[in-house]
Amino acid sequence: MNLAQENDSVLLVGKDGKRSLFVLKSGWRHNTHHGFVEHDDIIGQSFGRSVTTHLGHKVLVLRPSLDDLLMNLKRGSQIIYPKDIGLILLKMDLGAGSRVIEAGTGSGALTTAFAHRVAPTGTIYSYDNREDMINIARKNLELAGYNDRVEFYQRDIIEGFDQTDVDAVFLDVREPWEYLTQVTAALQPSGFFGALVPTTNQVTDLLFGIRGTGLWDVEVLEILVRHYKPVPARLRPVDLMPAHTGYLVFARYVPSDAMDSEGVEELDSSEEGVYENGSQG
């Protein structure tokens, strides 16, 4: 069964649609717009049911999903969208036990998603040169209950990473092309590289930088998500959608001695055709 335990994160939803996310602590109270609830009224009960506030209003008690966690992050910087995170997790091939380097940490949205993904045995090594961002991220990870799977490093990554042989490296920094030597020094052969950049100029710079590094099978893409109003008799998209979050760049590390450079070049172009035909699978 699915019972709420002390130290679990919990999501409360009020009648007004107001959501709040917090960690259960025996003896504590949580205030809502419709009165407070006792944590002890939640601990030991199943999720997906309701509790009653001291003013007699029902409030819904849910186990927060990764999506809920991401929506409730304290933000200190730009956010990454679920549409992008879903594909990043897939393309970086993260799974239970993966060891992943990420820079920069930002408010820890991607860190949270990575930590969720590599449970129960993997580790995230998260680098940022700003102490304030690491502090925000640390709090967000704590709320998610994932703190023990993440190691934070406050550092300029031009100095390199402490890990080697990791499964994947993801860069969410302004000039990712400046750190590709550091990236390939940390990656295991066959490992995955990813980056998110907002402008086309950065994509161009990154693609130029990737040449000759052993990063291979390069993909550049963007994702658009369109929500519909869930009204069955008048089905139509919502009025506005995000026009842009960023360009995603993915590649795979193949040390240069693994193949002749001509061979690698050839692969790139043939692979590209697959995606152009829309038959990627």
Task: Please list every residue from 29 through 88 that binds a second copy, using CB under 8 A.
Answer: 46-50, 58, 60, 62-63, 65-67, 70-73, 75, 79, 81-83, 85-88
- Please identify which residue in 127, 161, 179, 247 interacts with a second copy, judged by CB under 8 A: 247
Least distance (Å) from a second copy to the CB of residue 14?
8
Contact 112, 82 (CB under 8 A): no
Binding a second copy by CB under 8 A: which of 25, 55, 96, 159?
96
- Pair of tokens at residue 264: 């690698």
Residues that contact a second copy, how many (by CB under 8 A): 112
Alpha-carbon separation of residue 129 from 106, 140, 173, 186 (angstroms) = 10, 18, 11, 18
What does 77-111 look like in DSSP terms, one character per residue?
S----HHHHHHHHHHTT--TT-EEEEE--TTSHHH
Site string for a second copy, 127-146 (x = CB under 8 A): --------------------
Query: Which C-beta is closer to a second copy: that of 27 or that of 236?
Result: 236
Q: Which is nearer to a second copy, 76 or 153 (CB)?
A: 76
Rounded Cα–Cα distance for residues 243 and 42 (Å): 41
Shortest Å, Cβ 158 to a second copy: 22
Q: Should residue 151 be labelled a site residue for a second copy when binding is judged by CB under 8 A?
A: no
Q: By C-beta, is 40 or 93 nearer to a second copy?
A: 93
85 sits in the region (left: phi over 0; alpha: psi -120 to 50; else beta) called alpha
Site for a second copy in 6-25 (CB under 8 A): 13, 15-17
- CA 281 to each of CA 58, 108, 225: distance values in angstroms, whole numbers, following the listed order: 45, 31, 19
